[in-house]
Structure 1
Amino acid sequence: MRPEEVHTMTTSTAVEGMGEPKDEPERLDAQSADNGLDHGDSDGLAKGTVCARKPFASWLYALLFLVFDIIAVLTLQWGVTQNSTRVELSSPLTGVWDMVAKMWTKQNFVFVLNLLLLGLIYAMLLFLINRFWVVSPLLLSAAAIVALIEHFKVSVRYETVLPSDVKLFGSNTGNIMSFLPSGAFWLIAGVLLYVAVLIGIFVYLNHIDGRHGRLIRPMDRTGLAAAVRLLLLALSVTVFGAFTAQVSTVGSWADGLSKSMGDIPSMWDSVYDAQRNGPLVSFIRQCNPKIMDKPQDYSQESMKALAKRYQSEAKNINTGRTTEMKDNTVVYILSESYSDPNRVPGVEINKDPMPRIRSIKDQTTSGYMLSSGYGGGTANLEYMSLTGLSMANFDSSLTSPYQQLVPGEQWTPTINQLWGQVGNSLAFHPYEPSMYSRAQDYKKFGISHFYTLEEPDVIAHQQKLGSSPYVSDEATYQSAFEKISATSKSQFIQMATMQNHMPYHSWYANNEFKASNKPGSPKLEADEKTSIDTYAKGVELTDRATKQFLDQLDGLSKPVTVVFYGDHLPGIYSTAGADSNNSLDLHLTDYFIWSNKASASRGQRNENSDYTSPNYFAAQTAEHMGAKVSPYLAFLTRMHDAIPAMEPPVVNNIQGWDRIPEGQPNYLDAHGKPMAAKDFDARTNQLMDDYKLIQYDITAGKGYLKDLHFMEVGR
């Protein structure tokens, strides 16, 4: 189009409005842009001419939208994929493009899911700002910056950015500096250069595009264009918001869509989860977990009445007790995958792998613990033992309290807090501190030092046995003993071992343990036998190390009580697991509560201790020690009397991250027999209702019990 034609067209356009006020300069400028026009140089403007700039076609905008969306998703993926340097942990991806390749190799379309979700964010910004050449560099720059932060955090802490980090940054941005590894300057400089180049490119594209990036151009003076933008913005926000609100709820449309496209939650490890499913999907899944339904009678008044009821119970219980738990050192030992292989249906071991622990169990409070996991779920068992709360009360959508619940809680009461000062609580785990977000959660619990394989608190002893990749129990015990024996103060010690973690690959030379099927039972597969043989040897090594540790504690002059329990069975019993009738047997592990010679409770054996679940350990420990209880522990004591063991519904396959959405939780009586909820008497039903009120108040409610001194002894 010649300049003369342009001038004629713009003049005629102005004339068409005869009888109306002339368009303002802004209106003319917008109209010119909408017609593919832009102002030329000052010479041209002085002559009243307008230079034409051809608008980009709508299809080109659509193509570039897709291209930029792909670049942004791959950039985010780079942030979590380029850090798989730790030999202990496997990565589901070896490179960024593997996420794309999965669509053809595994029919996994989680890449497309990430594109859709990020595309919705992209669209929201476009409909809000209506400038393609402004929003696009903003999105790409933000993706690069987030990827850089992910890269630094994974390098330093082996943990991705979590929803709780967003709150942390908002209140204390200085903590970002703790994510910076050595050599970070050059990566930061590289990203800044990338952002600068992006800005330059998009400024130029905006200059040559006659539409200047307007996706929706002014149509007339009725505000129709604004209405269209508002409608599309509302639609995008609604879809994205609904997905975020529902994706962590089992059985929801968003959960179904996510799973159908290849999302496989792997929440034991945030880095693995982000690598496998994309950091955006992994992040969104943790934003709005459903915790539990609000009890109908939940109110401040009902919680006051409840607190008063168990204050009275605590007074009755404390009448016959003379000591306090905090006057003793208490050691919780979560023994990874520890259980008696001889109790597995159809399995026979040629030698007893746990004679020492079997003897210890005969002399003190002990029995079997009902586990919610099989082959996994360690952190959930640990959470229940430290808090006294039960997974059976949570909604099935809450699969991992350590990741989904604790980071966002304002009040997190745990057993170790009875020991007062933070310095009195220590934790040991000879592995990665970021697993299950323990490092973050332990700080909220009030644990001062967490000794792991990583700085700042490196565990003292890291010896391994045979060709096993895991630190031995003997080494872990020795690290803890040195801290216990170094002070006369009472302490709380949380320990989670790693020696018997899956998988099991003939780690021990000259292994004398041999597994076989019992007469009349199905024959074991070769791989199953190898795993059981290796595992049985590990159980024996734990048996020896545990006895040696208790002997060391016996030599101390300060009273020490140990709570030892296996978190779950190893997921190696495929033959037994194929029979659903074996469900209960595959979810019972061994536990005991033992006190050293300096303790008044040496040799004590609680009544009703044959069966339990980890939520009762604190109350059982107080009973074993003859220690006074808080109203909360009084409640758990009565709850254990009524229902000795309780866990959510379980299955005979390796613990995943989709809990069973339906079915009655498992309840066992004092003899290990299943109990039906419909048969509960009025007292038991009252206790169950109170449990849900307590758990809701602590985790999802107003926290009324905190001000009612429910967790305090002697109030």
Structure 2
Amino acid sequence: MTNTAIDGDESMITAAQEADTRGNDVQGIHDDRDDHDDHDDHDDHDDRDERRWFKFHSKPFPGWLYAVFFILFDLAAVAIMQWGVSQSSTRVKLSSPTVGWGFVTKMWTQGNFVLVLNLLLWGVIYLIALMLINWFWIATPVFLAIPMILAVIEHFKVRIRYEAVLPSDLSFLGSNKGSLLSFMPAGAWRTIVGMVAIFLAAVVVCFLLYRVDGRSGRMVRFDNKGMGICVRMLLVILPALCFGAYISQVSTVGSWAKAFATALGDKPSMWDSVYDAQRNGPIVSFTRQLNPRIMERPADYSEETMAKLAERYQAEAERINKTRSANMTDSTVIYVLSESFSDPSRVPGLKVNKDSMPNIRRIKSGTTSGLMLSSGYGGGTANLEYMGLTGMSMANFDSSLTSPYQQLVPGEHWTPTINQMWGAARFSEAFHPYEASMYSRQTNYAKFGFSHFYTLTGDDQGNDIIKYQDKIDKSPYVSDAATYRSALEEIAKSDDNQFIQIITMQNHMPYHNWYKDNDFTAESTDPAQPLEKTETTSIETYQKGASITDEATQDFLDQLDELDKPITVVFYGDHLPGIYETAGADANNSLALHLTDYFIWSNKASDSRGSNIDNDAYSSPNFFVAQAAEHMNAKVSPYLAFLTDMHERISAMEPPVVNSIQGWDRIPEGQSLYLDRNGKPMAESDFDEQTRQLLADYRLIQYDITAGNNYLKDSGFMTLPGQ
């Protein structure tokens, strides 16, 4: 007899021996002497008694059948989780992923095996449960309870907030348990009761299978108990280590885990957490965000280094403030991120019949303005938005960090943004005529310190619904005029100075001949390379939309001019629309396809009306706050003093750019793009000593805030004079 025996085999051997020696006595008379000789453990007596009771009523399941059951229950876990996020929604969405049965069929229709990746991840958890409990028919319902509970939570969160469960939600398990009730929609008890019923049905199925399984479901058994425990622990530790290694590496570009997930079909879609979970599976999208690689730690990073840095820029702020007389927070500052706004006439190889932005062109000529270097093309809005609100640059982040709003901000302990300079949350409001959950904005804006975030869907309680939602002709998006009107009413009724964030949606892709009486035309400058019909339609539709934005923006500024309080507007297009296929085919057009328009304008009640600062021809959104302070002649904090100095040396900076809509796997490869004040690219290897020092300081500052120990938090580095 070998040292290792599976229960079913031992049962069969025992039954055969007893049949030979004592005949066909089905009552199963106990042989106490043999039992005491073979096993002293009381649990073994119980197991053998039970096996004798079943020995003529059941046969042990073969090993292959256990494997089949393992796969079936593993599939059940994946299906349950997909149910949690695959509900239909009446809310508008940019696109609809393949869900339901399509999650399976895309293996042979698209060659996408992300289902297999989900099965592997859940399978590891299943295996660990089996080894810990060591009884198949007990461990299985325990395992199934995990996805059932998580699926119900996903179901509730998607219904309430149209947002999947994120790693940041783990905070609810700590000090915010009471907030879990905010995820409970009306009629939640029906879902809970239904899932409990399904779980009980699974328990019954497992019990019946246990009763007919002559093996009783015991997984691992050794005569030597210590050996059995060691083997089981090994089968727990090894899968757990593999799972942990996967989580720690899957967010890092170039890692084995990232390559493995990509090969099986993981396609990050991080602008929409529900879409991402539907498309790739909740466990895949969740684990991808658990351990993002943010930045490489600077070699000289330390508390002493950061203290000296803060002291250095405190002195620089004092120097700058000697020539400035205003306070930024004595005015209302409005950031307008105009979706996809840019000048079609600047696109290489494109001939247009008339100007789409005559008003904005005129506004730019009389105030601080220029071209903004964008990291995105046809997408990446939230990254530009993040840079504008924080003053930090995507160029400093690791290439694996493609979306700070999803991968970084939810887990940050300290998230300084420029609206916080105005003090209490009631002085910060935001407007966006779309889903509150897109790019996790609802969660992030609360963290940034905005008291209200007005959207189409509002907050969890149905508040903060944006007031005006008019659309133009066949366009599916709220017009810029309606968005401006919603914001203007809130600005006008407040006597306080505020920070206002506006993100428009009117010119979002796609463009399908939406507008009536559209007399804009576009054609190629090269007769030998004419535009395709779909490209022409998209461009001409976009031109009309841009002209409508131009008129609405002029009207918005005119109404701000009528208000008797100082207001400064920072207006910028986040990126070009991803419709210029002909121009995009030429790599030499990369820079041109990443330059949008921006201006900084002040109303009649402002002392800075008509200001036009030096070095404004080129910029990037991380420098806007420093430029706004200079435009307003406003005093600066040490942080704004640093950004002011940085902008003097590098006018614009972004990570490498590409002529296609950027995916969500990584920031494009190559050197970061740096522009001088004339818009000429600069090589980092050619920087002088002062520029090198500033860039090194930038990385230290950004690392301390996003990935470091927050040494700057209590140093006054972000504090304006007089605060």
TM range (shorter): over 0.9
SS, match of residue 181 in structure 1: coil
How far apart are 1:243 and its partner, in Å? 1.0
* 1:585 to 2:592 alignment: yes
In structure 1, the residue matched to 2:90 is: 85
SS, match of residue 598 in structure 2: strand
SS, match of residue 578 in structure 2: coil
How far apart are 1:709 and its partner, in Å? 1.1
Identity %: 60
Contact 1:346-1:522 within 8 A present in 2 as well: no
How far apart are 1:275 and its partner, in Å? 1.0
In structure 2, the residue matched to 1:300 is: 303
* 1:26 to 2:43 alignment: yes
In structure 2, the residue matched to 1:75 is: 80
Contact 1:91-1:275 within 8 A present in 2 as well: no
Deviates more, 1:364-373 or 1:180-189: 180-189
In structure 1, the residue matched to 2:174 is: 170
Q: Output one character per residue of 1:88-130: Cα deviation in whole Å (capped at 9) or x when no partner.
A: 443212x411100111111111111111111011111112221
Deviates more, 1:316-325 or 1:435-444: 316-325
| Match 1:684 to one of 678, 683, 691 | 691
2:653 counterpart letter in structure 1: M
How far apart are 1:198 and its partner, in Å? 2.2
In structure 2, the residue matched to 1:349 is: 352
| Match 1:365 to one of 361, 365, 368 | 368
In structure 1, the residue matched to 2:265 is: 262
2:593 counterpart letter in structure 1: L
Q: Output one character per residue of 1:182-218: Cα deviation in whole Å (capped at 9) or x when no partner.
A: 222212111111122222332343344344322111x
How far apart are 1:613 and its partner, in Å? 0.4
Correspondences of 1:507-586 after superposition (within 5 Å): 507-519=514-526, 522-586=529-593
How far apart are 1:227 and its partner, in Å? 1.5
Q: Return the alpha-carbon distance in structure 2 between the equivalents of residues 400 and 286 of structure 1.
A: 10
2:51 counterpart letter in structure 1: L
1:37 counterpart letter in structure 2: R
In structure 1, the residue matched to 2:425 is: 422
In structure 2, the residue matched to 1:43 is: none
SS, match of residue 82 in structure 1: coil
Contact 1:114-1:280 within 8 A present in 2 as well: yes
Contact 1:37-1:52 within 8 A present in 2 as well: no
Q: Output one character per residue of 1:641-665: Cα deviation in whole Å (capped at 9) or x when no partner.
A: 0111000011100121123463210
2:396 counterpart letter in structure 1: N
* 1:377 to 2:394 alignment: no
Correspondences of 1:33-432 after superposition (within 5 Å): 37=51, 54-93=59-98, 95-217=99-221, 219-221=222-224, 223-432=226-435
Q: Return the alpha-carbon distance in structure 1 between the equivalents of residues 171 and 30 of structure 2.
A: 55
Deviates more, 1:518-527 or 1:499-508: 518-527
2:493 counterpart letter in structure 1: A
Q: 1:701 to 1:536 in 2, by over 3 A?
A: same
Q: 1:170 to 1:58 in 2, by over 3 A?
A: farther
2:600 counterpart letter in structure 1: I
Q: Output one character per residue of 1:373-426: Cα deviation in whole Å (capped at 9) or x when no partner.
A: 000000000000000010000001111000110001110000000000100000
How far apart are 1:10 and its partner, in Å? 5.1
How far apart are 1:638 and its partner, in Å? 0.4
Contact 1:37-1:53 within 8 A present in 2 as well: no
How far apart are 1:16 and its partner, in Å? 4.9
Q: Return the alpha-carbon distance in structure 1 between the equivalents of residues 218 and 708 of structure 2.
A: 46
Contact 1:365-1:605 within 8 A present in 2 as well: yes
1:505 counterpart letter in structure 2: H
How far apart are 1:306 and its partner, in Å? 0.4
In structure 2, the residue matched to 1:45 is: none
SS, match of residue 440 in structure 1: helix
Q: Return the alpha-carbon distance in structure 1 between the equivalents of residues 549 and 108 of structure 2.
A: 45
Q: Return the alpha-carbon distance in structure 1 between the equivalents of residues 163 and 118 of structure 2.
A: 20
The number of equivalent residue pairs is: 697
Q: Return the alpha-carbon distance in structure 1 between the equivalents of residues 536 and 688 of structure 2.
A: 45
2:91 counterpart letter in structure 1: R
SS, match of residue 334 in structure 1: strand
Q: Output one character per residue of 1:449-482: Cα deviation in whole Å (capped at 9) or x when no partner.
A: 0000013211111000010000000000000000
Contact 1:247-1:255 within 8 A present in 2 as well: yes
SS, match of residue 336 in structure 2: strand
Contact 1:667-1:674 within 8 A present in 2 as well: yes
Contact 1:346-1:521 within 8 A present in 2 as well: no
Q: Return the alpha-carbon distance in structure 2 between the equivalents of residues 284 and 677 of structure 1.
A: 35
Structure 1: tracts of 5 or more residues without a match: 41-49
2:198 counterpart letter in structure 1: Y
TM-score (norm 1): 0.95
How far apart are 1:87 and its partner, in Å? 3.9
Contact 1:83-1:151 within 8 A present in 2 as well: no
How far apart are 1:55 and its partner, in Å? 3.4
Q: Return the alpha-carbon distance in structure 2 between the equivalents of residues 592 and 187 of structure 1.
A: 51
How far apart are 1:300 and its partner, in Å? 0.4
SS, match of residue 311 in structure 2: helix
Q: Return the alpha-carbon distance in structure 2 between the equivalents of residues 428 and 126 of structure 1.
A: 50
1:132 counterpart letter in structure 2: F
